Amino acid sequence: MMKFGPPQLECDFQAFGRQHVLREALHTPGSRLYHSPDGRHLFVLLPHKVLSFLRLPSQAPLSPSAYLEKSWAAHSPPLSALLFPQCVPHGWALTLLWQNGRTEIWSPPRSALSKGWELLQSLDLCNSPRARLASVCSNGESLVWCEERPPSEAKLQGPSGAKAYRHCICHRRLVWEGEQQVTLGSMNILLHHSPFFHLLSSPNHIFMVPDGNLRTNGARLLLVYSPQDERINMATITKGLIHSKSISECESDFKKLVLECLGYMASQIPVGIRSFAVTGLGELLLMDALGGVHLLHPNGMVRCIYVFDSITLTPEVRVSMQIYGATLVCAFDTVLYLIESNTGKLLEKKILSSDEVRLMNLPEVDDIHLMTKAGIYKVSSMSSVIETGKVEQVLLEMVYEEACKYYQRRSLSSAKLTVQELKKEGMFQAPIMLSSIFSNYHRAEKAKSKNYADHVNTMTNELQSCLSLEQLKAQIINIPEDVTEKYCENLIDQEIVRLLNTDLDRENLIYINFLFSLFPKAAWKSVKGTLQFHQNGDGRFIVRATVDLWKRILGPLSAGSRESSQNGVSPLFEVICESLYRFKPKWLPLFVQQAQDCSGLPWSMSNKDNCEGVPLYKRALAVVSKGKANTTANGDCDIEIDILLYSGRPQAIIQAIHMLIDLQRWERVITETQKFSQLSPIITKDIFITLLTEFVRHRHLDSYITQLCDICPEDMTPTDMLRIILQNMPDEQHLPFSCNGGTQLTVGLLRPLLNKVIQNQKAQHMKPTALTFSPSTPPETSHSFVNGDGLSPEICSVPDIYAPDSW
């Protein structure tokens, strides 16, 4: 388990100027601390004053103008926010916003030539003087705020709407003209008729957290606004993403935005939100009223990390949250909880001596930073870090061992090659050069050595992969048993990724089979991530594997691989199919279909099954047959049928439909027959004859007589149909046709099929033919027929026995 050291004082504020003023401000009741994005300025917010303090040494002039003191009257509206919007390319600016919408933008001293703090602009953010600023945040060079408007201006209807939906979410951009001139752009309304939302910003998104006092259905949604896409994702803390809609679709009206979600929200139990914070990676941490800590991603996905008990989380406790690396830090007054964010395991609990703790959100910093009135503290991990020298030594030995195996295979001598011989003789320069690159990798990275720069640039990914793999192996030795499974999954993932990007010789193929056999679940997760298996919302299965990966999966087997396959070692395609069949069997037919599409063999309906090699669908069917003992028969039959149908081969499709007939799934039989009947006459005729046989024997297909007529082959004659009917008539039925109905075949049931055949025959004979007759010699009309052979409607005029008058 990861351990953390005690908090270490990193800065006690003595590095900031005006120490006596700073000490006095820190001891003032109700004071709050802020820091600038670059860490050069410290701000103390008092009830009616803002003070700034400059970190020393500084390029700015050490004069009174280098420190900001902004105060306002006690009866004035309170300060709503202290923000740091970006001033590209100059850095940041300080923005003070009061509850009545008054806004001041200040420029900090940036160089020795600066005049100090300068007021760049003072204006009203809101258009209406009666509007009240409820919440505000900065997103790059823009200001986004939630303002409350009087009922008369909001144009609300009804007493309940007038109370809850009187807010607007607005947006204005800061327009910079040089470093010292700024104006506000025109105001854009993102949402009107909106409830009160707390606004928080990440680099690319705006999070809108509903106020806990509102009880209406729509006011309990979490909104994530993307300025680039102008789209809003709607989510809940328990279910995640519910709906997504663009601003233009809802016409910037909150009621239209949430219209589709109201019915769903009415059935949900409301969960209040107690605290929230934006992480350094642009995600939103949420703590509900029950003590659950959730992580909301910009795409609407929500994950519960940890749940505190009700004893720990009393109403009067002040809560602060942040994520550093893979550690969730929750500060409850003076108690610090350190939690592993991936597993939700409590790592450590620390008691602090400070009165108030503020977690600092510093980009690209994994150490925990705490801001208190006594200074800035850092909490670092005490996990054992592997020395780079030891890792490099392991990698050097690995290089020479692999080189020995490589040169041994290419050598004509039977003498065994050793690592010592390679090092001493110096015959082969490749391992010497590679080991030199490994040994100088970190130094070349830091000192930018010219001798190895070209080699390192071309091998950076491989070098880093080897280093991380060796570090992971070394960590597994010393970790406790409760986290061994997680590290093993990571190690197996790296091993499988490495193997899939190498040539699959006999040893590597045996190794892959070994990993999938001993660690099936971890191997499945790895191959699923490497080949990027996923299914779209419309049910379409997609594999985003690279061309090289497909070549390794579908490539011809080497001689060693064929020998291994005969000895119980499966090829890579079969290994992946076995994993799919075990963990996601419904994906197996779709994977086989995509594999066949990527194999470079465009199977057309005229191709026969005598092509070189075993088709992929037959290899997949062998995998299913091998694993039938572990699943139900019906499930296996469904998978086999789908594999046969997705193969696109006539014989396979016919086999699949015959299997469906044996299972008496008549509806799917008809559906699949209609689907494939347009592709090949072979399929149409074979399936029609089979279905006609079933139609004669029982009455399950009577309701599908219209579909049977549709797939009737054009070359089917009445004689052929009658012969099939008579040959397959049940033995207990004495008469050829019955007029009594019931379970027996009747002439009335056969009428649509016979009419369809006669219509097809007439259509065939109406087509122009190459054979002509002389007027003086009419065609011969007298024939002798045996058992009806040769009968056709054109040669022998037969009255319509199915007409009402003929009965």
Q: Over the stretch 119-162, which tens digit does the pLDDT of each residue have? A: 988 989 888 888 899 999 998 889 999 999 877 644 544 444 45
Q: Which of 496-500, 511-515, 576-580, 759-763 has the lowest mean pLDDT?
A: 759-763
Q: How far is Cα 356 from Cα 370, in angstroms, rounded to an integer?
A: 10
Residue 52's pLDDT band (cuts 50, 70, 90): very high
Q: Give the pLDDT band of residue 804 (cuts 50, 70, 90).
A: very low
- What H or E segment, with its residue span, contains residue 292? strand 292-296
Residue 788 pLDDT level (bands cut at 50, 70, 90): very low
Which range among 454-458, 518-522, 656-660 shows the weakest confidence by mean pLDDT?
454-458
pLDDT exceeds cutoff 70 at 696: yes
Q: Residue 524 above 50 pLDDT?
A: yes
* Residue 694 banded pLDDT, cuts 50, 70, 90: confident
Q: What pLDDT shows up at residue 181? A: 82
Question: Is 179:117 a contact under the CB 8 Å cutoff?
Answer: no
Provide the CB-side half-sphere exposure for 544 (13 A, CA). Answer: 7
Provide the 8-state DSSP code for 47.
T
pLDDT at 613 over 50: yes
| Cβ neighbours, 10 Å, residue 363 | 8
Contact 349, 335 (CB under 8 A): yes
Residue 707 has a CB neighbour count (10 Å cut-off) of: 17
Of the pLDDT bands very low, low, confident and very high (cuts 50, 70, 90), residue 11 is: confident
Which pLDDT does position 731 carry in this prediction? 65
Q: Give pTM, 2 decimals.
A: 0.51
pLDDT of residue 478: 61
The domain segmentation of the chain, as residue ranges, is 388-478, 503-648, 686-768+790-806
Name the band, by pLDDT with cuts 50, 70 and 90, for residue 773: very low
Most confident of 327-336, 384-393, 766-775: 327-336
- Residue 444 confidence (pLDDT) above 50: no
Residue 622 to residue 344: CA distance in whole angstroms: 42
Average pLDDT estimate for 160-184: 80
Asked whether residue 8 carries a pLDDT value surpassing 90, the answer given is no
Residue among 164, 97, 166, 184 at smallest CA distance from 130: 166
Segment of 166-180, 468-482, 573-587, 635-649 carrying the highest mean pLDDT: 573-587
CA distance 326 to 366: 8
Task: State the average pLDDT over residues 31-57.
Answer: 87
Give residue 162's pLDDT.
53
Q: Band of the pLDDT at 464, cuts 50, 70, 90?
A: low
Residue 171 or residue 421, greater confidence: 171
What would the mean pLDDT of 327-354 be, rounded to a whole number?
86
State the average pLDDT for the chain.
77
What pLDDT, on a 0 to 100 scale, did the predictor assign at position 734? 46
SS3 assignment, position 575: helix
For the chain, give the percent of residues with pLDDT over 70. 72
Residue 789: what pLDDT? 40
| Mean pLDDT along residues 365-381 | 81
For the segment 388-415, what is each residue's pLDDT rounded down to a tens digit? 444 455 556 666 677 777 767 766 666 7
Q: Is it the case that residue 799 has pLDDT exceeding 90?
A: no
- Does residue 104 carry a pLDDT above 90? yes
In DSSP notation, 543-610 reads: E---HHHHHHHHSPPPHHHHHHHHTTPPPHHHHHHHHHHHH-GGGHHHHHHHHHHHTT----TT--S-
The least confident of 42-46, 388-392, 413-417, 468-472 is 388-392
pLDDT at residue 631 in the model: 53
Looking at mean pLDDT, say which of 427-431, 528-532, 733-737 comes out highest.
528-532
How confident is residue 794, by pLDDT bands cut at 50, 70 and 90? very low
Q: How far, in Å, are 139, 147, 177, 296, 297 from residue 205 at the CA level?
A: 8, 19, 25, 12, 10
Which range has the worst mean pLDDT, 182-186, 537-541, 741-745? 741-745
What's the mean pLDDT in 232-245?
90
pLDDT at 479: 64
Secondary structure string (H, E, C) spanning 627-687: CHHHCCHHHHHHHHHHHHHHHCCHHHHHHHHHHHHHCCCHHHHHHHHHHHHCCCHHHHHHH
Listed in sequence order, the residues at least 6 apart from 26 whose beta carbon sits closer than 8 Å to its beta carbon are: 13, 33, 44, 373
Q: Which residue, chain included where needed, has tokens 């900090």?
A: 108
**Which pLDDT belongs to residue 398?**
66
Amino acid at 307: V
Answer whether residue 564 shows pLDDT above 60: no
Q: 171 or 334: which carries more pLDDT confidence?
A: 171
Arithmetic mean of pLDDT, 333-351: 86
Q: Which residue has the higher pLDDT, 308 or 438?
A: 308
What does the pLDDT read at residue 738? 46
Q: Confidence band (pLDDT; 50, 70, 90) for 466?
A: low
